[in-house]
Amino acid sequence: EENPFYGKYRHKSQELRRSSPDVFESRMEKRSEVKKQPVGYSKQGEFIRCMEEKARPIFFAEGLGAKTSKGGFTKDKTLDSILNVEMVKEKSAEEIKQIWNQYFSAKDTVYAVIPAEKFDLMWKRAQKCPSFLYALPRKEGYEFFVGQWSGTELHFTSLINVQTQGETAPSQLVLYHYPELQKEKGIVLMTAEMDSKFLVVHQAQCLANQAQLFYATDRSETYELVETFNHRSSEFKYMSVIAELEQSGLGRELRPGQVSDKS
């Protein structure tokens, strides 16, 4: 009777109670059992969770020790919280790459396995030039995002957020780089978290690709834009980023609705 729809089905309920009391009592017992179950519980949901746990590769330890920050991003997202590092140390770099790619290919996120030499170059440059301006293709023109390195994490937020909120501007995308296997296996693992209210995967992938384009490039003119942004900001021209993006092909490949196959 507490149900707001009780009045609508009252007649049918009373009729069932008179005509089939056994069926009525059976349904009431089931209803009582359901009320005792925690909110959100369902046998189907339990079955799906069980199957996912059995199917999940034993190499991964998803969620262990993960702490969620105020902005919805994971705080202290260590590699150990994602991957059984000790177990994969027995694997070759190629095998680890396959395990990482296969695991994250089923998830709605950005990920990559970066060669150690490429990340080493990115990391050295990030120490000298921790921030840069990226251009994200939109339906009409481009939207600018500021990328800021914090340790091995690369945080992105839109330029308009920085202009209006300053240092308190929230991250809309975080790339997590894990160099734990860099020396031994020659690879650096990367994955990401994003605010889905502002970005979708192919847009986050575009920003991740640009981070490698500008920080791991062999082309001096390309990296010079990063140096100019950090050390000679008065000389920096926004349009030069777009020009470089278009020249690289990323600007054309990653127009809205298209997804890059580059990692």
Q: Which residues contact 262 (CB under 8 A, 6 or more apart)?
A: 209
Q: For residue 203, what pLDDT is reported?
A: 93
Per residue of the chain (263 residues), give pLDDT as tens.
544 444 545 665 666 677 667 666 665 665 554 444 444 444 444 444 443 343 344 445 443 333 334 445 776 688 988 888 888 888 999 999 999 999 998 888 999 999 999 999 999 999 999 999 999 998 888 999 999 999 999 999 999 988 888 878 889 999 999 999 999 999 999 999 999 999 999 999 999 999 999 999 999 999 999 999 999 989 999 899 999 988 877 765 444 333 344 43
What's the predicted TM-score (pTM) here?
Answer: 0.69
pLDDT in the model for residue 145: 95
Torsion of CA 80, 82, 84, 88, to 10 degrees: -110
Phi, psi of 166 (to 5 degrees): 65, -135
Domain borders along the chain are 78-254
Separation in Å, CA 19 to CA 11, 13, 26, 150, 204: 12, 10, 14, 70, 61
Supply 236's token pair.
């920096």
Q: Are 153 and 140 in contact (CB under 8 A)?
A: no
CA distance 101 to 109: 11
Q: Decide: 174 and 162 in contact? Cβ < 8 Å.
A: no
Give the per-residue pLDDT at 252. 57
Residue 16: per-residue pLDDT: 60
* 21-77: pLDDT as tens digits: 766 666 566 555 444 444 444 444 444 444 334 334 444 544 333 333 444 577 668
Q: Give strand pairing partners of 175.
A: 154, 192
Alpha helices in 106-181 (DSSP H): 116-128, 159-165
DSSP-assigned letter for residue 150: E
pLDDT the model gives residue 251: 60
Beta-bridged to residue 163, according to DSSP, are none
Q: What is the pLDDT of residue 167?
A: 79
